């Protein structure tokens, strides 16, 4: 397999600003001052021993990148790669491998959203690494901004090099729980959006699959998300989603033996939602010993819908106004798992968790089936206005198409060009 590996923060512990003169080529790189991530040299050596072909892909200057690649790791490199723009990387791969680099035998590894979106633009699977703790925030690379990286939608997540080897050997077993189930594998992995720890309690937000709005790797499940929202969804899909949820909840119980989960509930649908009770059907199929209860209710008079609220603030305000918690059960000091269909801005999740805290709940695990990841533009442009096209998904068929998205729908184009992807 061809392994495209970021340098700074992935192989070298050089995310700090003090290394910027080296990375910009303004000073001659002194290799004795370049700290390596622990195990990096052994990681590269093991990749090569296993028949893989690692290549460094970096935005930094050739005087810096090439010296480290050639002297320390003894592997080829592409510098000034212009991530996440895929053009230079694609040309490099075509020249070096003569068409051999395909989505079936390539993977991108890195520690920022730039690496993940480069992989998505190339339609390669991606691995997001967390090998260091950021000492501050950096806007372009998103250093210290976890939300930005997570919204880019990596295929896999690792905290040590050994996990990368496992992924390369058993990729489908290491997918997120819902993506794995549609590859006929059982997994308990989730995206760890956020964990709020307080003195005597915590609130954790997790999600089990990617609902991609743009070009992504072959494992993402946008088609299953749209099917779940339709009245003609199959029982097979519903059962698979429930099984993946069951796998994750079982893992949570096993990995947190000191927490006794008292209730399992779901974000109920409004009376006007179509198909009716869409989340209730899945909720009833989930296999768990945790007592199931309906705790989340909607007010009778509702104007509009969550879908029409486009940002965090408006979504949270909508839920604050229209959702309330059933008071028939005393929730004081109890531990609760909540399941919902999608994590978009976080407004729904944060509002609901806040309402439960007001009722005295202790610990909360808020789980969503899917989360919306960012759109990656295609390299093709609209023949009518010249704007880059976006890869979209047909809600009814699950098929992909290129679209020039108009400004009123969040795009930059004229909105007058669509072409199916075959």
Q: How far apart are CA 382 and CA 181, in angstroms?
A: 36
Q: What is the pLDDT of residue 300?
A: 78
Please provide the average confidence, as pLDDT, over all residues in the chain. Answer: 89
DSSP code, position 126: E
Q: Where are the chain's structural domains?
A: 2-169, 191-373, 377-420
Cis omega (within 30 of 0) on the bond before 8? no
Please give the Cα distance from 47 to 1 (Å, whole number): 9
* Poorest-pLDDT segment among 71-85, 118-132, 254-268, 387-401: 387-401
CA 136 to chain centre: 22
Phi-psi region of 190 (alpha: psi -120 to 50; beta: other; left: phi over 0): beta
**H-only helix segments in 278-336:** 278-285, 312-322
Tokens of 183: 């590859």
**What's the CATH fold of domain 191-373?**
Rossmann fold (3.40.50)
What value does the mean pLDDT take over residues 252-281?
A: 88
How far is CA 139 from each of CA 112, 202, 245, 363, rounded to the nearest angstrom?
11, 29, 35, 33
417: left (phi over 0), alpha (psi -120 to 50) or beta: beta
Burial class (CB in 10 A: 0-12, 13-18, 19+), 312: middle
| Structural contact between residues 216 and 122, judged by C-beta atoms closer than 8 angstroms | no
| 323-325 and 296-298 beta bridge pairing | antiparallel
Q: Identify any residues that bridge with 190 across adjacent strands, giving them in sequence order.
A: none
Q: How far apart are CA 193 and CA 173, in angstroms?
A: 21
Do 2-169 and 191-373 share a fold?
yes
Token pair listed for 291:
């007592």
Measured over the CA atoms of residue 213, residue 168, residue 115 and residue 78, the dihedral's sign is: negative
- pLDDT tens-place string over residues 102-136: 888 999 999 999 999 999 888 899 999 999 865 55
- As a whole number, mean pLDDT of residues 337-356 equals 91
At 150-165, the pLDDT tens digits run 888 999 999 999 999 9
Q: Please, what's the b/e burial string for 178-193 (b: 16 or more CB within 10 A of its CB; e: otherwise)?
A: bbbbbeebebbbbbeb
**Per-residue model confidence (pLDDT) at position 419:** 87
Q: What is the dihedral of CA 107, 137, 158, 3, to 10 degrees?
A: 20
Per cent of the chain over pLDDT 90 is 62
CATH of domain 2-169: 3.40.50.1000
Mean pLDDT of 333-344: 94
């Amino acid at each position: 397999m061809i392994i495209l590996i970021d340098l700074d923060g992935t192989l070298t512990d050089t995310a700090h600003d003090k290394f910027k003169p080296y990375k910009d080529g303004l000073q001659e790189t002194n290799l004795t001052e370049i700290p390596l991530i622990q195990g990096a040299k052994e990681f590269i050596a093991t990749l090569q021993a296993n028949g893989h072909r690692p290549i460094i892909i970096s935005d930094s200057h050739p005087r810096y990148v090439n010296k480290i690649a050639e002297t320390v790791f003894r592997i080829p490199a592409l510098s000034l790669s212009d991530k996440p723009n895929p053009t230079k990387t694609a040309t490099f791969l075509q020249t070096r491998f003569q068409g051999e680099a395909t989505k079936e035998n390539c993977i991108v590894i890195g520690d920022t959203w730039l690496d993940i979106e480069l992989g998505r633009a190339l339609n390669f699977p991606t691995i997001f690494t967390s090998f260091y703790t950021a000492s501050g925030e950096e806007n372009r690379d998103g250093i210290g901004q976890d939300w930005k990286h997570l919204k880019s939608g990596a295929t896999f997540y690792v905290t040590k090099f050994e996990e990368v080897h496992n992924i390369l050997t058993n990729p489908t077993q290491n997918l997120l729980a819902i993506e794995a189930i549609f590859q006929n594998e059982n997994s308990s992995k989730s995206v760890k959006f956020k964990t709020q720890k307080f003195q005597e309690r915590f609130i954790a937000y997790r999600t089990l699959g990617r609902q991609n709005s743009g070009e992504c790797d072959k494992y993402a499940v946008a088609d299953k998300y749209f099917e779940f929202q339709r009245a003609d969804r199959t029982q097979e899909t519903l059962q698979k989603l429930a099984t993946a949820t069951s796998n994750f909840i079982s893992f949570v119980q096993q990995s947190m033996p000191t927490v006794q989960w008292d209730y399992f509930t779901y974000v109920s649908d409004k009376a006007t939602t179509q198909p009716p009770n869409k989340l209730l059907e899945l909720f009833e199929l989930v296999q768990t010993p945790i007592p199931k209860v309906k705790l989340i209710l909607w007010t009778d008079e509702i104007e509009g819908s969550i879908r029409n609220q486009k940002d965090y603030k408006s979504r949270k305000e909508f839920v604050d106004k229209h959702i309330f918690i059933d008071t028939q059960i005393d929730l004081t000091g109890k531990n609760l798992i909540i399941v919902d269909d999608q994590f978009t801005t976080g407004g729904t999740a944060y509002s609901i968790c806040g309402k439960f805290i007001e009722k005295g709940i202790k610990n909360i695990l808020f789980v969503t089936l899917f989360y919306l990841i960012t759109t990656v533009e295609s390299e093709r442009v609209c023949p009518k206005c010249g704007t880059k096209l976006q890869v979209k998904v047909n809600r009814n068929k699950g098929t992909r198409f290129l679209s020039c998205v108009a400004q009123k729908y969040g795009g930059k184009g004229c909105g007058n060009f669509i072409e199916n992807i075959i």
